[in-house]
Amino acid sequence: MNKKQIIQDELNKLNNSKASAEIEANTRLLRAREIPEFCKVDNDYRKLLLELAKLPPEDKKNARLEKELATLKKRRLEMLKKHGISASALEPKYSCKKCGDTGYVDNAMCECLKTKVQKALIKQSGLNNKLNFDFSKSDEKILAENPLLNKAYRFARKYCDNFPNNKEPNLVFYGEVGTGKTFLLECIANELISKLFYVVFTTAYDISKTMIKAFNSPFAERDTILSPLFESDLLIIDDLGTEPLYHESTLSNLFTLINERQRNNLALIVSTNLTPQQIDERYGNRIKSRLFNQRITVTIPFKSRDLRLK
Ligand SMILES: [Zn+2]
């Protein structure tokens, strides 16, 4: 699924809930109309509304009709009250009062839809079973004691603020285990998802599995399987170098993916315990030179004491 489809999916769900709220309101109205005296006033009210709608714009401001309409409206409400029905009972009960379950207010995405899309993006991102660090949960004390991490942290925040317009959209985090790489990757992922970017958080091993699955699937399904890797706004590959390299195809798949994303100017962040030299030895120069392409990549070192939180 790509981002457009994710948003459309959530919008469809919202529109379904809009439609059922309206159907339910209509059912309540039909029930109220079984009361003959309410039905009569309601008919008069509707007839007048229709008449007003048919008038040319210049005749719409008609004092007599407006007064008549106000009177009918009032009588209609009185009639409902007399029979123990609240006026609001006939209104649709939308799950969001702000947008009436349309998902948009003044052409901008409503908070309700935003929240739903964020949840869907998190589900798609592969972050679901992670600790889910974000910038607000960072420990200033740990940062203060660790200049390298602190520098990387400030850089990552700036990277997120400028996303997707960073001059160097690709980052490589390298350094030993437990130096804060994954912590920072999760911060970046969560920050960008909160801004509704499509982020995919994965490992080289899962990439290989996904690509093999795609090539063994019917042609029509391949795009759907591969689009998160190839089309997401940001792809994060955590812990490059820890996956088993069983197949020659793992290398060529990885190269294709990195190359395609660079061609399309899509951001990529890789974390690894390997040095550039070790990357060269393990993946070959083709992948190494793409990963460390200085024109579009910032390489950030991580070092020193164990910072694994929990
Ligand atoms: Zn809303």
**Mean pLDDT estimate for the chain:** 90
Confidence of residue 242 (pLDDT cuts 50, 70, 90): confident
Helices (H), the chain: 3-32, 36-54, 63-82, 111-125, 140-145, 147-162, 181-194, 204-215, 219-231, 248-263, 276-283, 285-291
Ligand 1 geometric centre to CA of 144 (Å): 41
77-126 residue pLDDT tens: 999 999 999 888 899 999 999 999 999 999 999 999 999 999 999 998 98
Q: Give the Å distance between the CA of 258 and the centre of ligand 1.
A: 38
pLDDT band, very low/low/confident/very high, at 29 (cuts 50, 70, 90): very high
Q: Residue 310: pLDDT band by 50, 70, 90 thresholds? A: very low
Q: What is the pLDDT of residues 177-192, one digit of tens each?
A: 888 898 899 999 999 9
Q: Average pLDDT in the 164-176 region? A: 94
Q: Is the pLDDT of residue 36 over 60?
A: yes
User: What is the 121 CA–ligand 1 centroid distance (Å)?
Assistant: 18
C-alpha 16 – ligand 1 centre gap (Å): 13
192-215 as b/e: b if 16+ CB within 10 A: bbeebbbbbbbbbbbbbebbeebe
298 or 307: whose pLDDT is higher? 298
Distance in Å, CA 107 to ligand 1 centroid: 12
Domains of the chain, first to last: 19-96 (no CATH), 126-301 (3.40.50.300)
Copy the structure tokens of residue 132.
Answer: 């889910």
* CB-CB contact of 234 with 121 (8 Å): no
pLDDT at position 78 is 93
Backbone angles phi, psi at 95, to 5 degrees: -70, -25
* Span of 20-24, 33-37, 141-145, 159-163 with lowest mean pLDDT: 141-145
So what's the pLDDT on residue 304? 64
Q: Please list, in sequence order, all residues whose beta carbon lies within 8 angstroms of the beta carbon of residue 183, skipping any fewer than 6 positions away.
A: 133, 138, 307, 309
Q: How far apart are CA 35 and CA 20, in angstroms?
A: 24
